[in-house]
Amino acid sequence: MRFFLFDKIIHFEPGEMSVAIKNVSLVEEFFVKHYDRTPLMPEPLIIEALAQTGGWAVTVSTDFRLAAIMVRVDDVKFYKYVRPGDQLILKATILSINENGSLVEGKAEVNGETVAHVGRIMYGHGLVSDQNKDFLKKNFIYTSGGFLDREGNPVSQD
Protein backbone atom coordinates (compact mmCIF):
# COMPACT_ATOMS: atom_id res chain seq x y z
CA MET A 1 0.00 0.00 0.00
CA ARG A 2 1.54 3.29 -1.05
CA PHE A 3 -0.41 5.60 1.21
CA PHE A 4 -3.13 5.39 3.79
CA LEU A 5 -6.42 7.14 3.20
CA PHE A 6 -7.26 7.08 6.89
CA ASP A 7 -5.45 8.60 9.84
CA LYS A 8 -6.08 6.04 12.55
CA ILE A 9 -8.10 2.94 13.34
CA ILE A 10 -10.23 3.80 16.36
CA HIS A 11 -12.16 0.56 16.88
CA PHE A 12 -11.43 -3.02 15.97
CA GLU A 13 -13.18 -6.33 16.57
CA PRO A 14 -11.34 -9.34 15.05
CA GLY A 15 -13.48 -11.22 12.56
CA GLU A 16 -16.21 -8.58 12.80
CA MET A 17 -15.30 -5.00 11.89
CA SER A 18 -13.01 -2.01 12.05
CA VAL A 19 -13.62 1.73 12.26
CA ALA A 20 -11.13 4.37 11.13
CA ILE A 21 -11.07 8.15 10.93
CA LYS A 22 -9.83 10.46 8.20
CA ASN A 23 -9.48 14.14 8.98
CA VAL A 24 -9.94 15.72 5.56
CA SER A 25 -7.64 18.71 5.14
CA LEU A 26 -7.31 21.27 2.37
CA VAL A 27 -3.59 20.41 2.12
CA GLU A 28 -4.38 16.90 0.82
CA GLU A 29 -2.59 16.31 -2.45
CA PHE A 30 -5.80 15.16 -4.12
CA PHE A 31 -7.32 18.65 -3.74
CA VAL A 32 -4.70 20.25 -5.99
CA LYS A 33 -6.55 21.49 -9.09
CA HIS A 34 -9.62 19.44 -8.20
CA TYR A 35 -12.60 21.80 -8.27
CA ASP A 36 -10.57 24.91 -7.40
CA ARG A 37 -13.54 26.88 -6.06
CA THR A 38 -15.29 24.00 -4.31
CA PRO A 39 -12.79 21.35 -3.19
CA LEU A 40 -14.39 17.93 -2.75
CA MET A 41 -12.79 14.63 -1.79
CA PRO A 42 -12.93 12.47 -4.94
CA GLU A 43 -15.45 9.66 -4.50
CA PRO A 44 -13.05 6.91 -5.68
CA LEU A 45 -10.75 7.87 -2.79
CA ILE A 46 -13.61 7.44 -0.32
CA ILE A 47 -14.10 3.93 -1.73
CA GLU A 48 -10.36 3.28 -1.38
CA ALA A 49 -10.42 4.56 2.22
CA LEU A 50 -13.24 2.12 3.02
CA ALA A 51 -11.37 -0.68 1.20
CA GLN A 52 -8.21 0.00 3.22
CA THR A 53 -10.18 -0.02 6.48
CA GLY A 54 -11.85 -3.30 5.50
CA GLY A 55 -8.59 -4.78 4.22
CA TRP A 56 -6.97 -4.26 7.60
CA ALA A 57 -9.97 -5.84 9.32
CA VAL A 58 -9.54 -8.95 7.16
CA THR A 59 -5.73 -9.10 7.36
CA VAL A 60 -5.60 -8.73 11.14
CA SER A 61 -8.51 -11.17 11.58
CA THR A 62 -6.44 -13.84 9.79
CA ASP A 63 -3.51 -13.15 12.14
CA PHE A 64 -1.64 -11.52 9.24
CA ARG A 65 -1.52 -14.84 7.31
CA LEU A 66 -3.51 -13.40 4.42
CA ALA A 67 -3.20 -10.00 2.76
CA ALA A 68 -6.51 -8.62 1.52
CA ILE A 69 -6.33 -7.09 -1.97
CA MET A 70 -9.42 -5.26 -3.23
CA VAL A 71 -10.62 -6.74 -6.50
CA ARG A 72 -14.18 -5.45 -6.88
CA VAL A 73 -16.81 -3.17 -5.38
CA ASP A 74 -20.56 -3.48 -5.84
CA ASP A 75 -23.63 -1.53 -4.81
CA VAL A 76 -21.92 1.85 -4.32
CA LYS A 77 -23.97 4.90 -3.34
CA PHE A 78 -22.89 8.43 -2.50
CA TYR A 79 -25.22 10.71 -0.56
CA LYS A 80 -23.23 13.83 0.32
CA TYR A 81 -19.96 15.50 -0.57
CA VAL A 82 -16.88 15.31 1.66
CA ARG A 83 -15.10 18.65 2.01
CA PRO A 84 -11.98 19.96 3.72
CA GLY A 85 -12.59 20.22 7.46
CA ASP A 86 -14.79 17.12 7.57
CA GLN A 87 -13.92 14.15 9.74
CA LEU A 88 -14.72 11.02 7.81
CA ILE A 89 -15.69 7.98 9.89
CA LEU A 90 -14.99 4.79 7.94
CA LYS A 91 -16.83 1.65 9.05
CA ALA A 92 -16.01 -1.75 7.56
CA THR A 93 -18.04 -4.81 8.53
CA ILE A 94 -16.76 -8.25 7.56
CA LEU A 95 -19.45 -10.29 5.81
CA SER A 96 -17.33 -13.39 5.11
CA ILE A 97 -13.74 -14.64 5.07
CA ASN A 98 -12.25 -17.80 3.63
CA GLU A 99 -8.78 -18.78 2.38
CA ASN A 100 -9.44 -17.45 -1.14
CA GLY A 101 -11.22 -14.20 -0.48
CA SER A 102 -13.49 -12.09 1.67
CA LEU A 103 -16.44 -9.73 1.51
CA VAL A 104 -16.81 -6.52 3.49
CA GLU A 105 -19.54 -3.88 3.69
CA GLY A 106 -18.39 -0.27 4.02
CA LYS A 107 -20.02 2.91 5.24
CA ALA A 108 -18.56 6.41 5.45
CA GLU A 109 -20.08 9.07 7.70
CA VAL A 110 -19.56 12.75 8.47
CA ASN A 111 -21.22 14.18 11.60
CA GLY A 112 -23.31 11.02 11.98
CA GLU A 113 -24.73 11.24 8.44
CA THR A 114 -23.94 8.59 5.84
CA VAL A 115 -22.00 10.12 2.93
CA ALA A 116 -21.19 6.85 1.14
CA HIS A 117 -22.12 3.18 1.30
CA VAL A 118 -20.49 0.21 -0.43
CA GLY A 119 -22.64 -2.91 -0.19
CA ARG A 120 -19.81 -5.29 -1.04
CA ILE A 121 -16.06 -4.86 -1.20
CA MET A 122 -14.54 -8.08 -2.53
CA TYR A 123 -10.95 -9.00 -1.71
CA GLY A 124 -8.66 -11.64 -3.07
CA HIS A 125 -6.13 -13.01 -0.61
CA GLY A 126 -2.40 -13.43 -0.90
CA LEU A 127 -0.39 -15.61 1.45
CA VAL A 128 1.95 -13.57 3.61
CA SER A 129 5.52 -14.72 4.25
CA ASP A 130 6.89 -14.54 7.81
CA GLN A 131 9.06 -11.56 6.85
CA ASN A 132 6.11 -9.69 5.36
CA LYS A 133 3.92 -10.67 8.31
CA ASP A 134 6.23 -8.67 10.60
CA PHE A 135 6.10 -5.73 8.19
CA LEU A 136 2.27 -5.83 8.10
CA LYS A 137 2.09 -6.04 11.90
CA LYS A 138 4.34 -2.98 12.24
CA ASN A 139 2.17 -1.04 9.77
CA PHE A 140 -0.96 -2.01 11.66
CA ILE A 141 0.58 -1.09 15.02
CA TYR A 142 1.53 2.29 13.52
CA THR A 143 -2.02 3.04 12.33
CA SER A 144 -4.12 1.11 14.81
CA GLY A 145 -4.33 3.28 17.86
CA GLY A 146 -2.93 0.58 20.14
CA PHE A 147 -4.91 -2.57 19.40
CA LEU A 148 -1.59 -4.43 19.30
CA ASP A 149 1.52 -3.71 21.35
CA ARG A 150 4.96 -3.29 19.75
CA GLU A 151 5.45 -7.06 19.75
CA GLY A 152 2.12 -7.63 17.96
CA ASN A 153 0.18 -8.97 20.98
CA PRO A 154 -3.46 -7.87 21.49
CA VAL A 155 -3.98 -5.08 24.01
CA SER A 156 -7.13 -4.84 26.12
CA GLN A 157 -9.23 -1.83 25.14
CA ASP A 158 -11.10 -1.68 28.48
C-alpha closest to that of 49 among 80, 85, 19, 11: 19
Task: Given the residues 11, 34, 117, 125, select the one marked as catalytic.
Answer: 34
**13-49 per-residue burial string, b: 16 or more CB within 10 A, e: under 16:** eeeebbbbbbebeeebeebeeeeeeebebeeeebbbb
Closest CA to 89 of 145, 20, 3, 147: 20
Chain centre to alpha carbon of residue 79: 19
> 34 catalytic, yes or no?
yes
**Catalytic positions, please?**
34
